[in-house]
Amino acid sequence: MGRRSIVAVFSIFVHAVVLLALMTTDFWRPITEWPTPHRALAFEVVRSARLEDIELPKPAPRQPAHAAPDVASPIVATTPIESAPTFAPSGVTKETGGEAPMTTGNRALSDIERSGGSPIASLGPGVVPPAPPVTQPPVRVGGIIRAPQRIVNVTPVYPAIAREAHAQGLVIIEATIDERGNVARAQILKSIPLLDEAALAAVRQWKFTPTMLNGVAVPIVMTVTVNFALTP
């Protein structure tokens, strides 16, 4: 082997050693320069609070009995309470069980009635009793008051005894019609004894239209006739 070959081999060896050293440079650093591992999570134990460790507020000092009252606090006046008597009065009699209960309101009403006054009038000037309702007297049909129209007609029943007696004719009735058109009252003006009750029973079921006076419904008095006729 020539000299040049030895030099070439040595050069290659040196270059290989240098290249290897550069590739493994991290392993040749001092231990102090090595990267430190991550620190594990640490849990800190916290001691829970206890009732014994909580400081309670101190009560306010109590004032002595002879101390002056506080200006901000109200002064309440007290009155002595009388106790019930331990013995029965001489004027009280023994209860028999038949006494009527008497209350303050009943005693006051009894005093008013004994004095001859009215309980409503004694209530005072501020209380006014309600006024009685104003009732319109019946108006007789005639003049501007026209007879109402009959809207419900009930035919009277011919009594059998009147048929046998051949009783017939006109029964005249005076009827009072209220504000709603109903027959409130009926009385006989011309009577046929065997036919009166049948005529009244029929007229009481009739119904008329309300009669208006100045735009207000009013009761009226009118005369109606019921004709009983025997058919041949």
Range in 26-35, 119-128, 217-226 the model is least confident about:
119-128
Residue 101's pLDDT band, with cuts at 50, 70 and 90, is: low
| Structural domain contains residue 161 | yes
| Structural domain contains residue 185 | yes
pLDDT value, residue 23: 78
Query: How many domains are there within the chain?
Result: 1
Residue 77's pLDDT band, with cuts at 50, 70 and 90, is: very low
**In this structure, what CATH number is given to the domain that contains residue 170?**
3.30.2420.10
- The Cα–Cα gap between 174 and 204 comes to 11
| Structural domain contains residue 1 | no
| Structural domain contains residue 12 | no
Average pLDDT of the residues in 202-231: 93
182 in helix, strand or coil? strand
Q: Print the domain residue range for 217.
A: 140-228
- The Cα–Cα gap between 226 and 171 comes to 5
| Structural domain contains residue 195 | yes
- The Cα–Cα gap between 149 and 169 comes to 23
| Structural domain contains residue 51 | no
| Structural domain contains residue 11 | no
pLDDT tens across 161-200, in order? 999 999 999 999 999 999 999 999 999 999 999 999 999 9
| Structural domain contains residue 47 | no
pLDDT tens across 151-161, in order? 999 999 999 99
